[in-house]
Amino acid sequence: MKLLKKLPSRVLLFSWLTLAAAGILGAAEKQPQTVQISIGTILAGNQNDEFDAKLKGMEAQLKVLKYRSYRLLKNESQTVPWRGEKAFEIPGGRTLTITPQEFQDNRVSVKVRLTQGQKPLLDTTVKIPNKGNFILGGPPHEGGALVLSISAAAQ
Amino acid sequence: MNECERIEQSMERWLDGELGAAESEVVRSHVDSCANCGAVQQRLVKLERALGNVLAAAAPRIEFAPFWSELERRIDEKTPWHKDLRERIHGWFAVPRTAWAVPALIVLLIAVLSYDSYLPFWRSRNNSATVVSIDAYGRSVALLREDESKTTVIWLYQNQEGDDEAAEETPQPGPAF
């Protein structure tokens, strides 16, 4: 009987604790401080059938592009604060500037600017699933095309 | 249940003096007028007296002193903090199952409503990047989204005059998506 009398208060207490824990976890998940931006620079071509073993994890994504060969030229990661800018040097005198915009629904919104010297080539804003990537390709290089894998991971 | 049965049920409490005045009077008058209930009353009185005699004879032989001293020792005994803590924690986790059901339901509800954040293996249906805006400064751009490999591709065609990085770098026609 004593336990039954305590039951409603215990249920309430446990519920509040659970909600508080979920709230804290949710808040932590929704307010990352920085973003880890990774740029993989890949040279795609049709001269041979070479497939760089370092790109094994991206094979399914690269197959979409229908080139015969893929070689990883460079892989660079940088931690960028929200609304902060970070420039990545891309072969051929190009620069890729990334600005993380916001984190919402487990997606990282990034502003991407590709320039060649002073000349802007592309401005785009993309929402990437957290720890996911997208591909920006096309700039010609060494008889092939550059393929940039742009990944973002909120931290 | 007849009157005699009702009286018999109340008789022990009457003999022990636990009944109220009115009820005692009802039992007493019935016992006085009913031979059967009168006999029952006599048996109970005899039994009570016999038990009393037995207990009175046995009581002096019972040693109460060790019982009281042990009881006092237990009352005065200081519980170690870890034992106290263990008992308290055990008390919390011994909450009946119904008490756990509510928070469990809340957790389930939160998980279902925000599965995208908490259950990464359910993210597959929404795992492609989304292009919000794009400006290629007059150049041609192709957008491709391939669901099987969750791939989003922005393909920039640098095919305008002056776009090529060097004379020896011939622009590629681009992939056949």
In this prediction the ipTM stands at: 0.80
In angstroms, what CA-CA distances link A114 with A43, A75, A92, B59? 17, 17, 12, 102
Is the entire prediction scored with pTM above 0.80?
no
A:B CB pairs within 8 Å: 160
B50 inside domain: yes
Distance from the first to the final alpha carbon of chain A: 50
B148 inside domain: yes
Selecting from A44, A122, A135 the residue whose C-beta is nearest the C-beta of B151 gives A135
- Express each pLDDT in B71-125 by its tens digit: 999 888 888 888 888 888 887 776 666 677 777 888 888 877 766 555 554 544 4
3-state DSSP assignment of residue B79 = coil
Give the residue extent of every domain in chain A.
1-29, 34-154
In this structure, the number of other CB atoms found within 10 A of the CB of residue A120 comes to 14
Range of the domain at B144: 128-177
Residue A5 near residue A33 (C-beta atoms within 8 A): no
- Express each pLDDT in A98-155 by its tens digit: 999 999 888 999 999 999 988 999 999 999 999 999 999 988 988 889 999 999 998 8
For residue B173, give how far its alpha carbon lies from the nearest alpha carbon of chain A (Å): 9
Structure tokens at B127: 């795992």
Window 47-76 of A, Cβ < 8 Å to B: 60-61, 63-67
B89 inside domain: no
Chain B residues close to A114, C-beta within 8 Å: 156
Q: Among residues B32, B57, B82, which one ends one of the domains?
A: B57
- Judge whether residue A30 has pLDDT over 70: no
B79 inside domain: no
B16 inside domain: yes
Select from A125, A144, A132 the least CA-distant residue to A106: A132
| Domain count for chain B | 2
Contact across the interface for A106 and B133, Cβ inside 8 Å:
no
Contact across the interface for B149 and A60, Cβ inside 8 Å:
yes
Q: Taking residues B115-139, what's their average pLDDT?
A: 70
B176 inside domain: yes
- Express each pLDDT in B4-54 by its tens digit: 999 999 998 999 899 999 999 999 999 999 999 999 999 999 999 999 999
Contact across the interface for B158 and A106, Cβ inside 8 Å:
no
